Amino acid sequence: MADPLGSSLFIEAFGIKNPTLKVLDFFMDNEGFDYSKTEVMEGTDLSRATLFNVWPKLEALELLIVTRTVGRAKMYKLNKKNPVVKKLIELDDAISEYYAQKCCNPESCSSNDLSEIMEHGKDLIKAIVEYEKETSGNTKDRPEKLLA
């Protein structure tokens, strides 16, 4: 089941409803556990076809790793050793911190503060969106391509 509170701050801040970002956001919001593809599909409100379309690229970039197998289902979680995942988590934390400060003390936050935070992540988000659009399916692609 999707988040009853709506989309996350991460997705809202960028204004991009991209399936790859939705999957990564789901794992960032629920990083304490591992999940099957079915659970991710339900948690992101993505169709099975859409999830299975983006999943190979997430695995090829080693953004997600298999943690264990339960019956026939593989369980996955974020690969926190991956440099792209590290940057995304930093960005997600910075966005969350900005909104927390804004909520608690609106006078201390300006729209420029968020622009500065977002500027650091725009290129990475753009690279992820562009990578998803590629149809090569080359499993030799690595996260360094996104950080270039």
Query: pLDDT of 13-35, one tens digit each?
Result: 777 778 999 999 999 999 889 99
pLDDT greater at residue 47 or residue 99: 47
The CATH fold of domain 9-135: Arc Repressor Mutant, subunit A (1.10.10)
The yes-or-no verdict on residue 2 having pLDDT over 70 is no
Q: Which of 31-40, 54-63, 114-123 has the lowest mean pLDDT?
A: 114-123
Whether 54 contacts 18, CB under 8 Å: no
8-12, 91-95, 122-126, 138-142: lowest mean pLDDT where?
138-142
Burial of 81 (0-12, 13-18, 19+ CB in 10 A): exposed
**What is the mean predicted confidence (pLDDT) over 66-75?**
96
- Angle subtended by helix axes 48-60 and 19-29, to nearest 10: 80
Which pLDDT score, from 0 to 100, does residue 62 have? 94
Residue 69 has pLDDT above 60, yes or no: yes
Query: Can you name the residues that pair with 100 across neighbouring β-strands?
Result: none
Work out whether the CA dihedral 36, 40, 46, 52 comes out positive or negative: negative
What is the pLDDT at residue 139?
47
In a 3-state reduction of DSSP, which class is residue 77? strand
Is residue 118 predicted with pLDDT exceeding 90? no
pLDDT digit string, tens, across residues 40-57: 999 999 999 999 999 999
Asked if the model's pLDDT at residue 1 lies above 50, the reply is no
